[in-house]
Amino acid sequence: MKSVVVKQAGGPEVLEFEERPIPTATQNQTVIKIHAFPVHRYEVLTREGGSPSVKFPRVIGVEAVGEVYHPSKTSQLTAGQKVITFMGGLGREFDGSYQEYALVPDSIIYPVTYNGTWTELASYPETFYTAFGALKATRLQKGQSLLVRGGTTGVGMAALVLGKALGLRVATTTRQSDREPVLSNLGADEVILDHNDQLQTSSKYDGVIDMVGVPVVVDSLSHLKNGGTYTLVGMVTGQWVWKDFDPFTN
């Protein structure tokens, strides 16, 4: 099988194709034939050496969709069954999705029923899981207001769709005015232009989910009502530390 292996930190040139044998299922690990996977920004960070816990060589990639190739000895899954897998150490503690077949713990394999394309299915699992987790952390109730900062990111759009399904009034942001119709068509109650890291509104919201991070933290907090909850999800700008404060470790 073909695998894309990172043997040392660096730019895209360190992604090397390598022929490997198809792995063998174990007592509690199933072999999945991978049909599609998304590429995440933090996988780029890992490839560049920004994830100290990841040891090279490693096949990165934290989620995939595909079918069961060879179930484990204790698995209830059957060969050919459609499944998804994400997180749980995939692509970090053990080899991930940038390959044709992967050996994955049964604990992070989830059977699904889906009639669309593999690439469509690959766009959903972690994106919507992350958005739903952020909404839970923000602790909003039906009828309250939510601001999604970084609305045209994958998780941002998922948060918009899920927020509306939960009965929230959702405002979302974009830095490109020509993308406002996309967000409106997804159901946004309000689309706000983000100009030079400043939102072009004075409104405040019951909760904020922030996909942008460090450069806009102060401005995002200025749009949060007293008693509201600010939930930081992403760092799409690539900046991780805000005024000597790392929000992911403190």
Q: Which residue has the higher pLDDT, 244 or 127?
A: 127
Q: Which domain holds residue 33?
A: 2-122
pTM metric for this prediction: 0.79
Domains identified in the chain, total number: 2
Q: What is the CB neighbour count within 10 angstroms for residue 103? A: 19
238: left (phi over 0), alpha (psi -120 to 50) or beta: left
pLDDT tens string 113-163? 999 999 999 999 989 999 999 999 999 999 999 999 999 998 999 999 999
Q: What is the DSSP string of 95-110?
A: --SSBSEEEEEGGGEE
User: 139 and 163, same structural domain?
Assistant: yes
In a domain, 238, yes or no: no
Q: Is residue 15 located within the same domain as residue 46?
A: yes
Which of 102, 122, 142 represents a domain boundary (last residue)? Answer: 122
Q: Are residues 226 and 137 in the same domain?
A: yes
Q: Which of 23-27, 50-54, 144-148 is predicted least confidently? A: 50-54
What is the domain-level CATH number for residue 16? 3.90.180.10
In whole angstroms, what is the distance from residue 217 CA to residue 197 CA?
9
CB 46 within 8 A of CB 92: yes
Query: What's the pLDDT score for residue 40?
Result: 85
The reply to whether omega before 23 is within 30° of 0 (cis) is no
242, part of any domain: no
What is the rounded distance in angstroms from the CA atom of residue 123 to the CA atom of residue 54? 24
- Please check whether residue 246 lies inside any domain of the structure: no
pLDDT band at 249 (very low <50, low <70, confident <90, very high): low
| Residue 241 within any structural domain of the chain | no
Residue 247 domain-assigned (yes or no): no
Same domain, 203 and 137: yes
Answer yes or no: is 16 within a domain.
yes
Strand positions, DSSP E, the chain: 2-6, 15-19, 29-36, 63-70, 82-86, 101-105, 109-111, 145-149, 169-174, 190-195, 198-199, 205-210, 224-232
Shared-domain flag, residues 14 and 58: yes
pLDDT of 166 higher than 60:
yes
Task: Spell out the residues 6+ positions from residue 179 whose beta carbon is closer than 8 angstroms to its own.
Answer: 152
9, 113: one domain: yes
**Boundary (domain end) residue, out of 122, 152, 174:** 122
Q: Domain check: are 175 and 78 in the same one?
A: no
Tokens of 168: 């929230």
Same domain, 83 and 157: no
Decide if 49 is inside a domain.
yes
What single-letter amino acid sits at 175? R
- Residue 5 CA to chain centroid, in angstroms? 21
Instruction: Tell me how far apart the alpha carbons of residues 184 and 206 are, in angstroms, rounded to a whole number.
Output: 20
- Considering the domain boundaries, does residue 23 fall inside one? yes
Report which secondary-structure segment, H or E, holds 225: strand 224-232
pLDDT at 239: 63
